[in-house]
Chains A and B, each alone.
Chain A
Amino acid sequence: MRVRRLAAWTALPLAVTLGLAACGSGGDGGSGGSDSSVVSIQIAEPKHLVPTNTTETSGSQVIAGLFSPLVDYDAQNKPYEVAAQSITSSDNKVWTIKIKDGFTFHNGEKVTSQNYINAWNYGAYAPNGQDTNPFFEKISGYADLQGKTPKAKEMSGLKKVDDLTFTATLSEPYIDFKTTLGYNAFFPMPDAAFSAPGVLKDSYEQAPIGQGPFKMKGTWQHDSKIDVERYDAFPGEKPKVKNIEFRIYQQLTAAYADVLADNLDVLPTIPTESLSTAPSDLGDRYKTSPMSSFQFLAFPTFDKDYSKPDVRKAISMAIDRDEITKSVFKGSQTSARSFVSPVLPGYREDTAGEAAQFNPTEAKKLYQAAGGPSKIVISYNGDGGHKDWVDATVNQLKTNLGVDAVGSVEPKFADLLTKVEKKTPVGAFRMGWVMDYPTMEDYLGPLYSTNGSSNYYGYSNPEFDKLVKEGSAAKTQDEAIAKYQQAEDILAKDMPVIPLRFGENVFGHSSKVKNVEMDLFQRVNLVKIEAAS
């Protein structure tokens, strides 16, 4: 009897003791971010931290602090040298890259031209499965590193001249090569990163060694944070803060609550739910800045309903972009009336001309004259928060064109692409684009060229292809831009896609920091940020 009584009473005291035990283990210091000398920045768990394997924003935010790029972009988004002394070419085919003396990796290794060559070869070698692999395709010898069992391990186009100089020979002239070198795929990696030539150490990714203004403090603490501290031997512009904590959040709403409570310093993206209240919640700590994203509506070429340019133009004219950016996006995006982003050198306003001006009466006339379909379908992926604006667009089309219009949802973007590839009628479908480096070519090439990597809609115009090609092979930047602009004018005539909106960085910060700036790639400028005293 006594034993039984004991058993019956175990549950309660046990639970209380456990509660107390948990109490004992806590209590040391507040939660993170209370130390004012550490600036905390929200990121999501990065996918990778190896420069040649990083393509998403969170990872590139971290390695932007750990590495210093060969070139960066000025206020006009033209490249200027940072880690490079000079990047020159007489024919735009053979590029001589001289790096600045005095850069060292965080482990003390001197940065040499060989470090760049090793890193680039590692990125281009297909069996390594690096995400930035296609960025090396313009370098000659790239093809030999592709396939399951590549012929070579090193690109023949990369040659070391001396410790601070190397040449990159391209397979054909490319005027924008210097601009592309600002991308993180082109960062160097130290000898310490490799266990054997061409074999990266597993441990490297947990604590990447770079040559940038910040170095790792400890290792990557998955799902919780990444700490970095100022690297004092960095020869370039010194950061104003000593320590940065990249704090990993699963949900932006949680991070937003932390910014409101001064528990987190920088939130690079305000969550959609809070867009309407954020300006009043944060006051002058709510900020916007230009960004490169471009949202548009594409039309599959196999679909006869939409094959006439006039039909597409009419649909475009029936959409009131300003109304949608205002009511759905609360001004966090701006209306797009051109085919490339406004942040680019060479961007001109309103290149789509009348076709992108809201004009319901003309639109209806044009639509009926061209014999557009009686039902317009807009397909979108359901996991990206696109429903609201698609619904608004569909309603506008219904009212302004007098036709039936519906939004059709696919679970994921991949499902949508599969349908397009199988030529299943999906109607018009949404697409988005973010640039990798600021050149018009980074939009025109992949999106509208016949063989463009993201041209899922099959637009093909030989004259356009020719102009883009001539542009990238041009002798000077101005000449290249002129060609690109001519190419863009062709798009205005053919209207293969309907430009809808350009994105903006919409960010906020706590009262403990100032001078928070964000670049075109959605990254916080780590050198400029300062603690507010």
Chain B
Amino acid sequence: MFRYILRRLLQMVLAFFGTTLIVYALTFAGQGDPIQALAGERPVTPAQRAYLTEKYNLDQTGVGGFFYRYFDYVKDLLQGNLGESLTGRSIGDILQQAWPVTVRLALIALAVAIIFGVTAGVLAGIRRASIFDNSTLVLTLLVLGIPTIVLAPLAQYFLGVKWQLFPPTAGSDPTFYALLLPGIVLGSLSLATALRLTRASVAENLRADYVRTARSKGLVKRRIVIVHVLRNSLIPVVTFLGVELGNLMSGAIITEGVFNIPGVGFNLFRGIRTEDGPLVVGIVSVLVVVYLVSNLVVDVLYAVLDPRIRYE
């Protein structure tokens, strides 16, 4: 196990450099004239041009200049310095502010997915082909079919504006209540997947030999389902939810935008829209690490849950 983790960690270092290099190249190589891009539609004065050239080391051109800037960036990054956004704010500060709210939102979404998804999945799995099973199938297909970009504004309009059950946006320093609607919207997609996964898994395990044995031993049905079936059925679901948590941590660009939640996705979106290259690269670099770590944790958790799996 230890050797496995060590090997994965070494792979992570490679993956980290590879992805940051690609992201860095994509963000900055696409800009024809980075200085004009910084200024937007306004004309650039020679004074500003000189100032920005110096500030962002743009005097070195070509491939050499690119690697010069990239290594400069990585050097700062390794020292824990994420650099400054184009508006002069420390990206570390931005993330520090954005992360707590994104994590809260992610946890709400995950809780929604678990509480409703797993429960409904188990019920649907036990009562296969019942009305409940069929109606959840239709509902989950519907949710999976509607993209968040449609679902989020619809939920906001009906639940927030029209019937005023929830505040339409969360805004700064949101309460749990204000985050609930975005959390449900964000969690609905994972909910649908978790439900389908649990249902399939439970249905399959109910047909397993050990269930038949347990039943012939005379165990009550509730005990069979809760103790034996559920535990075995949850393995794929937990894996899925673990990966999903990594996804959710990286912020939900659409949901955070629609509900005005100043989290990670919100900042990433702003970075992209205002062509704030350093901000985009900074956030994405951190997200790469989040993804790598959450994937590793899921893989390790897998072995813990299922004793048949061994890593060498």
Contact = CB atoms under 8 A, between A and B. Distances in A.
Interface of A: 4-5, 7-9, 11-12, 15-16, 18-19, 22-23, 25-33, 45, 47-48, 55, 126-129, 131, 133-134, 146-148, 221-225, 247-251, 253-255, 257-258, 260-261, 263-264, 411-415, 417-418, 432, 446, 453-454
Interface string B161-192: 10010011111111111110000000000000
Contacts of A9: 231
Contacts of B220: none
B167 A19 contact: no
A118 B172 CA distance: 35
Interface of B: 30-33, 36-37, 39-43, 45-48, 50-52, 54-55, 87-89, 94, 97-98, 104, 107-108, 110-111, 114-115, 118, 153, 156-157, 160-161, 164, 167-179, 231, 234, 238, 241, 256-260, 262, 266-267, 269-270, 275, 304-305, 307
A391 B130 CA distance: 53
B264 to A, nearest CB: 11
Nearest to A273: B153
B172 A32 contact: yes
Nearest to B175: A26
Contacts of A19: 107-108, 111, 115
Contacts of A224: 171-173, 262
Given A247-B171, A251-B258, A257-B156, A15 B270 contact: no
Contact of B275 (A33, A412, A418, A446): A412
A397 B210 CA distance: 76
Contacts of B169: 31, 249, 254-255, 257-258, 263-264
B167 A261 contact: yes
5 contacts: A8-B305, A23-B176, A29-B175, A129-B55, A453-B45
A279 B156 CA distance: 20
B24 to A, nearest CB: 19
A349 B110 CA distance: 61
Contacts of A225: 171-172
A353 B259 CA distance: 48
B109 to A, nearest CB: 10
Given A15-B110, A133-B45, A417 B36 contact: yes
Contact of B45 (A134, A221, A222, A250): A134
B266 A250 contact: yes
Given A131-B48, A222-B94, A412-B275, A255 B111 contact: no
A418 B33 contact: yes
Most B CB atoms within 10 A — which of A5, A45, A127, A251? Answer: A251
A8 B231 contact: yes
A12 B41 contact: no
Contacts of A222: 89, 94, 97
Which of B45, B267, B307 has the most chain A CB within a 10 Å cutoff? Answer: B45
Given A7-B304, A31-B171, A446 B43 contact: yes
Given A28-B175, A413-B40, A129 B51 contact: yes
B107 A18 contact: yes
Interface centre among A7, A33, A249 (most CB of B within 10 A): A249
A148 B48 CA distance: 10
A87 to B, nearest CB: 26
Contacts of A18: 107, 111
B48 A129 contact: yes
B38 to A, nearest CB: 9
A126 B50 contact: yes
B174 to A, nearest CB: 7
Contacts of B87: 47-48
Given A7-B305, A47-B87, A126-B50, A30 B270 contact: no
Nearest to A131: B48
B104 to A, nearest CB: 5
